[in-house]
Amino acid sequence: MRFRDRAILVTGASRGIGAAIAKAFAAEGGTVIVNYRQDAEAAEGIAARCRAAGGEALAIAADVTSEEAVAAMAERIGEEVGRLDVVVNNAFAPYRFDPDRRARFPDVPWSAYERQFEGAVRATYHVCRAMLPLLGRSSSASIVNLASDLVTRPSIPYHDYTTAKAALVGFSRNLAAELGPRGIRVNCVAPGLVSPTEASAATKEEVREMLIAQTPLRRLATPEDVAGPVLFLAGPDGAFVTGQVLHVDGGLVMA
């Protein structure tokens, strides 16, 4: 039980990758804060599954792009949980991985980039700033940010999404350099296309097959495939790892 007596915040945890990560931490004895924006029923369902898996869980609504909402969430975690050891920044702005309908660069408005920066960078910025006092009390604190292998290998040019994730990697490495002396580690997990998720539902079968054929392990990632590496980076086995980007895409990116 690697995360017994440890508290973990997972943003965007009511479904998909975030839900899989939350349940994986709970199965290792963790107390999981299931952050969500709107779907209270889904979040409470994930919290119940976390408790059934052997951990404790608390669902908290907060729009992570809002400084005020994130501050209120931090206050509630401090009051109701009393500690925080791990932050997983998984939430991102809504996006559809649809190669046929993606906007080509001349047609991508700057506002599209802004939306993705809001979801990827601004949200992570607010969460890290608000949770830093709580993390600072932990003897082995860790932040794991969800990036994308598209930053290294833009198999399909999703300009706005990938640019925001590249900025998130830069943000994470600077944070790792600054917080390392305080004993707080910061890393990224960079998945390839993950299925099934709501974002990947629009990806056509021929594109999936193309990616599978180029992937040494010959399949797409599942949400559970992403959860394991997140736990590695957050836990004792990754205690001397910081400032890194771990690609989780079956070998599509080798770096």
Region at 9 (left for phi over 0; alpha for psi -120 to 50; beta for the rest): beta
Question: Do the Cβ atoms of 188 and 152 come closer than 8 Å?
Answer: no
CA atoms within 13 A on the CB side of 110: 0
**Which residues does the annotation mark as catalytic?**
161
Match 């969430």 to its residue by tokens: 73
Q: Is the torsion defined by CA of 184, 25, 165, 149 positive or negative? A: positive
Residue 245 near residue 149 (C-beta atoms within 8 A): no
3-state SS, residue 223:
helix
Question: 188 φ, ψ to 5°?
Answer: -120, 145
